[in-house]
Structure 1
């Protein structure tokens, strides 16, 4: 039996979405690179090329700056693969779109369901085989986050608006699978991501009297909710939901603290991500490298060894903060260029006469809003486990296909 090109691309897309979940970056990078090489297109849209060029320029700038330092080849090559992450993800998503795909959103939905099933399998393994009971243990075995699944959940919620249909039975099954998978990540950023994308596709980021009222209401609800959690005072190693609520309580300080006591392990642990940012700025300022950074191969000296994953490290090449990672490699010049990758999603598009273009634009707007926060706490497209870049690359290609129909 001959497999159609669209089916073959679907299989490749699912593999490329799942493979980063194994948390072996070398395997993920090799798989993505191989898939890119076998799916190259003859042409790419100018809009997509302009967006991709932002990350290419950052990589080139970091490489040039790195020539002025004497780094080990291992760290140089590793940094190049890290800095290629958004480029490869966007290319993959774009190239795995095919004009013969009957329903592009179903194509993306199938990939999301596949990874959700894979995630739930890992969760069940952790709970019933490894006896994982705490939030930390469940996330250790099941995974810490997955932005692609949240996009998939939004695809399911806005099924009618996006112009495709599922049977009631299939929609119910998909909803149950994605809901359970979504919940068991127990990731604060994914909950925020869902709210942002939901609001975006509802058109609530188009400012008017109605949306301003809604924003004010959400701000009040958020402040009230956080106050309730704060005064409930969940404990660090509490049972069940307490552990998750403690992470919510500590969220503002974790990302924005400016003074951290390294000798107080609680303060250091709760605000570690801010500590990375502080050390990056201190190092670049002391070395007078704030303008152009320290290039490919550079590392931040944490001044003490810290457990990151299964390793104890003092020097790190990438940080939790995407802005700071770019600042380290390319300085303020590269950071300004990097900010264009976010502002790019907010540019005005003429989509009023085409509902398909409208919802692609709204996906882009929601992504831009989410990336503002995601880059601060989870590296945005530079995260080694990131797969949302495939989703965005796919949408760029889908948009180009729609525009070609009207030429």
Structure 2
């Protein structure tokens, strides 16, 4: 791994790990984009593929102005959506610098995520906790890894099979695979594990060198199995019982048809309750609201919002643990269609192209977002998945070999 790649990885790790305040990310993003524009003499990369995301944002922004919601809520929603576009745009600008210095962003991504996982492990190891406190500690440390970690593991498993070279080196790749796999299993993130399975299936379908990939995959699965057994022997029995119950309750937790008259049901199945309230909001809205949404600034009027850290006096929450309903509320059916179009276009273009490693990773990322958006916020997540957005920009830029044009 080159020193410049390591430097980029460290910078990305610092930004994503320690600058998690969305407004600061947004502000820094605008400053970086402005600097790139000046340095490039106001030449910008082709951002046509971002049009669906821009349209989602534009619809929500215009409706927010029309319905005149509270200013704070309006700007907060706007920043959630605009930051995603800003980060991807930075990625498109940054590719020119990386190509000039022969920097492979996939390596930067892998090492940055791995540094983040090391940091999380460090927090776990040096925290004081009882057995039951350990569960909450693990859950807190595992927040936000549902997308980045499965993608990292998949890349480490299959990179050599497609390129005939190790990503960094045989030993380092193996260490990083064990490190990241261990944390995913330790976190027992249901969404993360499902996303990992999606990635494994995608690469099995598109495998290029059948025998080599099979050996690599089997070896990787053996590592995952060994790590799983070690972790389960080390975790206290009380934590195991909680985790088993958590998995058994998965269906109920996202079911929006439960009886919501009981506080205990709401607490146990919060995601389903959120969807139920959002569904009622949409159903009771006008046809315009259903088609174009309520706009940025509209709150979802849940009760007991203090359960997710939002004061009850706020009158509701602005973000849902369901990316599809989140977009339906903000930008309506039209916005949801743009959201699906963004990922489906990437998938179909990948299917029609030569099945390179970059193409398969893009397909994998798109399918992961399409599936996981049922249970997490999706692409417009808080805090922003900076590393994944930059990876998407890198892979699409590589695919399209985008030329620059004058503004």
**Which category of TM-score, normalised to the shorter sequence, fits these structures?**
0.7 to 0.9
- C-alpha deviation, 1:205, in angstroms: 10
Q: Distance in 2 between matches of 1:94 and 1:71?
A: 33
Structure in which a larger fraction of residues adopt helix: 2
Alignment of 1:396 onto 2:392:
no
Q: Larger deviation: 9-18 or 269-278?
A: 9-18
Q: Distance in 1 between matches of 2:13 and 2:28?
A: 12
How many residue pairs are counted as aligned between the two chains?
359
- Asked if 1 retains the 8 angstrom alpha-carbon contact of 2:105 and 2:391, the reply is no
Q: Distance in 2 between matches of 1:275 and 1:197?
A: 29
Alignment of 1:292 onto 2:292:
yes
- Asked if 1 retains the 8 angstrom alpha-carbon contact of 2:131 and 2:239, the reply is no
- Asked if 2 retains the 8 angstrom alpha-carbon contact of 1:16 and 1:31, the reply is no
List alignment gaps of at least 5 residues for structure 2. 209-236
Q: 1:229-268 to 2 correspondence within 5 Å? A: 239-265=238-264, 267-268=265-266
Q: Distance in 2 between matches of 1:132 and 1:88?
A: 42
**SS of residue paired to 1:302:** coil
After superposition, the Cα gap between the structure-2 partners of 1:279 and 1:82, relative to the gap in structure 1 and judged at 3 Å, is: same
Q: Distance in 1 between matches of 2:242 and 2:308?
A: 20
Q: Distance in 1 between matches of 2:80 and 2:65?
A: 17
1:308 corresponds to: 308
**SS of residue paired to 1:377:** coil
- Asked if 2 retains the 8 angstrom alpha-carbon contact of 1:268 and 1:275, the reply is yes
Deviations 1:8-32 (A, max 9, x none): 5444333333346xx4333333344
1:276 corresponds to: 274
Alignment of 1:193 onto 2:195:
yes
After superposition, the Cα gap between the structure-2 partners of 1:362 and 1:172, relative to the gap in structure 1 and judged at 3 Å, is: closer
After superposition, the Cα gap between the structure-2 partners of 1:89 and 1:203, relative to the gap in structure 1 and judged at 3 Å, is: farther
2:90 corresponds to: 92
**SS of residue paired to 2:160:** coil
- C-alpha deviation, 1:381, in angstroms: 1.0
1:332 corresponds to: 333
- Asked if 2 retains the 8 angstrom alpha-carbon contact of 1:145 and 1:187, the reply is no
- Asked if 2 retains the 8 angstrom alpha-carbon contact of 1:258 and 1:274, the reply is yes
Q: Distance in 2 between matches of 1:195 and 1:156?
A: 14
- Asked if 2 retains the 8 angstrom alpha-carbon contact of 1:145 and 1:190, the reply is no
Q: Distance in 2 between matches of 1:16 and 1:304?
A: 33
TM-score normalised over the length of structure 2: 0.79
Q: 1:2-401 to 2 correspondence within 5 Å? A: 9-19=8-18, 23-40=20-37, 42-45=43-46, 49-97=47-95, 98-99=98-99, 100-126=101-127, 129-131=128-130, 133-134=132-133, 136-146=135-145, 147-163=147-163, 164-165=165-166, 166-203=168-205, 239-265=238-264, 267-288=265-286, 289-309=289-309, 311-312=311-312, 314-349=315-350, 350-352=352-354, 358-387=356-385, 388-401=388-401
- Asked if 1 retains the 8 angstrom alpha-carbon contact of 2:150 and 2:192, the reply is yes
Q: Distance in 2 between matches of 1:94 and 1:200?
A: 26
2:229 corresponds to: none
Q: Distance in 2 between matches of 1:68 and 1:81?
A: 18
Alpha-carbon RMSD: 2.9
- Asked if 2 retains the 8 angstrom alpha-carbon contact of 1:94 and 1:395, the reply is no
